[in-house]
A and B are shown apart, each in its own frame.
Chain A
């Protein structure tokens, strides 16, 4: 247990409480650079600062994709769609305090929409396809959100769980349109000539379908995180935190709790929709077996392990989701296990690692680092005050 946990939340563990979940969501509470009073080379204006980070990340992503092989490029696509969905979920859970076990199903909405729109003679431009997928998923999210706004804790989890279990069944029921159990194959959109040109002049690497999809995924990830980061730092984000931490105080300040919860759910669903669209491109198939409850739980795992409410945490959690089982499996195989044993062991070790992180870093990886930094800063400030 972290020694920073307040007595109130420790004693009320497991019980319904209106106290702020200080530790669990520590990652979301870090103030922006200038507010902490620390030295920073980043601009003070939030939008400018985020734009600068966006450009830096984009440059970093291009460097990463061009300096690694195609195999790694392909893996990046998987990290991207997990991270987009986890970003939306971390906003919902970390900032607004709602839980959703149904984000896998919302991804299915985005994925199937994309598959259907691309499966025509002359498909619409990819951007339009993605926007339609996002819009449609937002509508579904709004409907679920209206129901969800009235529910709390386990009841909300139950309702969204029903979504996760039920929605993929639609694909089996309308199998003429949605392909049934074997799913819809997604045709990869043609890669434009300018992309091939740019890659050739940039790094001399040959452009391929895999690389094209990796760039699309990373672009979607960066745009999503840019928008989400702005939202989280804005009045909207503060309102969500108020709704999460003190319902009564928030309501007294004139905040309509239900409406803001629905808005959070819609934004979160929109991200899940885009994640589903990217998944469809990366996996090249949308099938019910890809959108089971396991997907929803994986997303939840990613945001908890990374640090609730932090986009960086969601990204780290998603990267772990993709790379950790693989590393564990390879480690198992290098210990002379056969593939089946290595696969089984990797799940066990993965679970153990999750439990350890929860025990020793309950605020998640990013949250714990931030807490440690804040503690250090506080100690220094206290030292100065004394001296």
Chain B
């Protein structure tokens, strides 16, 4: 409280000489309206695995988020405020996550947490963030835990949850492979469980085997040979990228050639390709094993280089001057950062933490961005994107097999999306109206 008062006084003293940095356009002066917000900055925090087993791929997400915030800052920021993005390593260990999120909230005094990655890791901090009334936006996980308005009013999901992904995959397989014997290859947590529950709504009669792996155990021979023995000729994988690589190599060794269908999480060709090369010690050198594999998409990725969003991300990435190539993980981070900018704009010129939450609830379902479908945000729901499409990987690119499909949890129908996906605004920065 004392800090806020001091900052307000400073704002009052320095208010005469600046017009607010250009981007704002509101008639009011900028104020330090809450913790983590000053006259000219907004501080946001995040946690990711930057080291350890979960780091490959996921550690690139924050560089994407940062690149887009840099781009926005260079163009005047949000309401004249520069976004400061502080992210730290939790090595995918919940004990570390709670420690660094404590630090982000209590010492760095961030305005909000965004994009926290991982189900077990983020699960350790939702209780703390909600009890401290810190907005916890756009969790990087498709678990359904984040859509719980009663218990977690400050927490919001972002990507489509694993259950609706399972439903869309299930319906596609039931319609296009009605005679297939389906095997499920699942990660032994809610990722695999929710995905399987969705798929079973359409495939109950076709499923011949369900095999689960424990993350960390790198031997999947028992699971893959059980699928082979059950005669499954189409395998649905709800698994992370390293297990896509492991399952491909194991199947190759066992001479097992079903049609593979990996959920979005496990299908990034670039990462799986590099993992394949590493696990096979060079025997398999690229992602060619993945040619013809089916998967799903909910934001445009590198497989569509002509998509205007991907071109925007390319430009943002080059301007950021960071090392490395643009990857789908960086695109994921930029897409989240884009949504975050929309949320901050909707929250108004001098938002409080509660204003930010209200903004997502009231305006979130109207935002147009890189995602193919609208968000499901409302005062009763904190669930992210409402759908995706099915595609087939082909070399560097992919081929869309369905129109964009939208649905919801439970027995909601799967429907085609009304209307076209949005294209990015000219300057690459959203312009949302404040809610109040």
Given A75-B102, A181-B119, A182-B143, A172:B188 Cβ within 8 A: yes
B106 to A290, Cβ gap below 8 A? no
- Give Cα A74–Cα B107 distance, bound, in whole angstroms: 10
Residues in A neighbouring B189, C-beta threshold 8 A: 175, 180-182
Partner among A279, A283, A294, A340 whose Cβ is within 8 Å of the Cβ of B89: A340
Inter-chain contact A180/B188, CB cutoff 8 Å: yes
B124 within 8 A of A: yes
Q: Could you say which of B62, B119, B123 has the most chain A C-beta atoms within 10 Å of its C-beta?
A: B123
Q: Mark A340-383, 1 if CB is under 8 A from B, else 0.
A: 10011001000000000000000000000000000000000000
Contact A285:B98 (CB < 8 A) given known A182-B119, A188-B131: yes
CA distance A185 to B126 in the complex (A): 9
Q: Which of B86-109 touch A at CB < 8 Å?
A: 87-89, 91-95, 98-99, 102-103, 106-107
Q: Contacts A71-B106, A182-B143, A183-B120; is A287 near B94 (CB within 8 Å)?
A: yes
**A 59-83 binary contact with B (CB < 8 Å = 1; else 0):** 0000000000111101100100000
Residues of B contacting A186 with CB < 8 Å? Answer: 127
Map CB proximity to B onto A161-182 as digits: 1 under 8 Å, 0 otherwise: 0000000010010010000111
Q: Is A70 a contact partner of B188 (Cβ separation < 8 A)?
A: no
Q: How many of A's residues come within 8 Å of B, CB to CB?
A: 41
Complex contacts, B120 vs chain A, CB 8 Å: 181-183, 285, 287-289
Any B CB within 8 A of the CB of A284: yes
Q: Contacts of B190 on A, CB cut-off 8 Å? A: 180-182
Q: Which one of B120, B131, B187, B322 has the greatest number of beta carbons of chain A within 10 Å?
A: B120
Cβ of B215 under 8 Å from chain A: yes
A74, A169, A181, A282 — which one has the most chain B CB atoms within 10 A of its CB? A181
A210 CA to B91 CA in the complex, in Å?
23
Contact of B99 among A78, A175, A182, A292 (CB under 8 A): A78
Given A340-B59, A347-B51, answer yes or no on A181-B215 (Cβ-Cβ < 8 Å). yes
Would you call B357 an interface residue if the criterion is a C-beta within 8 Å of the partner chain's C-beta atoms?
no
Among B62, B93, B103, B322, the residue within 8 A (CB) of A74 is B103
B254 to chain A, nearest CB (A): 25
Query: Complex Cα distance A169/B89, Å?
Result: 25
B93 touches which of A175, A180, A294, A344 (Cβ 8 Å): A294
Bound Cα distance from A283 to B100, whole angstroms: 11
> Among the listed B98, B107, B127, B215, which residue makes an inter-chain contact with A69, where contact means beta carbons less than 8 Å apart?
B107
The answer to whether the Cβ of B6 comes within 8 Å of any Cβ in the partner chain is no
- Say whether A43 faces chain B, with CB atoms less than 8 Å apart: no
Min distance, Cβ A381 to any Cβ of chain B, angstroms: 47
* Residue pair B123, A185 in contact (C-beta under 8 Å): yes
The reply to whether A71 and B107 form a contact with Cβ atoms under 8 Å apart is yes
Most buried by A among B95, B126, B187: B95
B145 interfacial by beta-carbon distance below 8 Å: yes
Q: Which residues of B contact A287 (CB under 8 A)?
A: 94, 120, 123-124
Q: Report yes or no: A289 in contact with B88, Cβ–Cβ below 8 A.
A: no
Asked whether A339 lies within 8 Å of B88 as measured between CB atoms, the reply is yes
B145: nearest chain-A partner, CB-CB: A182
Bits for A304-348, please: 1 = Cβ < 8 Å to B, else 0.
000000000000000000100010010000000011100110010
**Quick one: given A181-B189, A183-B120, are A283 and B127 in contact (CB under 8 Å)?**
no
With the chains together, A220 CA to B10 CA distance in Å? 44
Is the Cβ of B62 less than 8 Å from the Cβ of A339?
A: yes
Q: Which residues of A contact B98 (CB under 8 A)?
A: 282-285
For B103, give the chain A residue with the smallest CB separation.
A71
Asked whether A290 lies within 8 Å of B95 as measured between CB atoms, the reply is yes
What is the bound-complex CA distance between A329 and B94, given in angstroms? 19
A187 within 8 A of B: yes
Question: How extensive is the interface on chain B, given as a class?
Answer: 35 or more
CA distance in complex: A71, B107 (Å): 5
Q: Is the CB of B102 within 8 A of A185?
A: no
| Cα–Cα distance between A338 and B323 once the two chains are bound (Å) | 11
Q: Which residue of B102, B125, B143, B214 contacts A210 across the interface (Cβ within 8 Å)? A: B102
Bound-state Cα–Cα, A74 to B127, Å: 15
Check: A153 CB closer than 8 A to any chain B CB: no
- Is A204 an interface residue when CB atoms closer than 8 A count as contact? no
> In angstroms, how far is the closest chain A Cβ from the Cβ of B290?
26
Contact of A285 among B92, B102, B123, B188 (CB under 8 A): B123
Residue pair B124, A172 in contact (C-beta under 8 Å): no
Distance A129 CA – B189 CA, assembled complex (angstroms): 28
Q: How far is the CA of A186 from the CA of B98 in the complex (A)?
A: 12
- Asked if B128 is at the interface (CB within 8 A of a chain A CB), the reply is yes
**Cβ contact within 8 Å between B51 and A290:** no
A123 within 8 A of B: no
Digitize B120-151: 1 where CB-to-A-CB distance is under 8 Å, 0 elsewhere: 11011111100100000000000101000000
Contact bitstring B65-99, A, C-beta under 8 A = 1, else 0? 00000000000000000000001110111110011
- Chain B residues near A347 (CB-CB < 8 A): 51
On chain B, the residues within 8 Å of A183 by CB distance are: 94, 120, 123-124
Residue of A nearest to B143 (CB): A182
Complex interface: chain B residues within 8 A of A343 (CB): 50-51, 88-89, 91
Beta-carbon contact of B102 and A74 below 8 Å? yes
The residue that A182 contacts in the complex, of B63, B123, B125, with Cβ under 8 A, is B123
Contacting B at CB under 8 A, from A46-102, are 69-72, 74-75, 78
Across-interface contacts of A209 in B (CB, < 8 A): 128, 131
Give B314-342 interface residues, CB cut-off 8 Å to A.
Answer: 322
- What residue in chain A is nearest B108 (Cβ atoms)? A71
Q: Which residue of chain A lies nearest to B89 when distances are taken between CB atoms in the complex? A: A343
For the complex with contacts A75-B102, A185-B123, 14 further pairs of A-B residues with Cβ separation under 8 Å are A74-B106, A78-B99, A175-B189, A181-B190, A186-B127, A282-B98, A283-B95, A284-B128, A290-B124, A294-B93, A340-B50, A340-B59, A340-B63, A343-B88
27 A-B interface contacts by CB (under 8 A):
A70-B106, A71-B106, A74-B103, A75-B102, A169-B214, A181-B215, A182-B123, A182-B190, A188-B127, A209-B128, A209-B131, A210-B102, A282-B98, A283-B94, A283-B98, A283-B124, A287-B120, A288-B120, A289-B92, A289-B93, A289-B120, A290-B95, A295-B95, A329-B89, A339-B89, A340-B55, A344-B50
Across the A-B interface, the 4 shortest Cβ-Cβ residue pairs: A181-B189, A71-B107, A343-B89, A285-B124
Q: Name A's B-contacting residues (CB within 8 A).
A: 69-72, 74-75, 78, 169, 172, 175, 180-183, 185-188, 209-210, 279, 282-285, 287-290, 292, 294-295, 322, 326, 329, 338-340, 343-344, 347
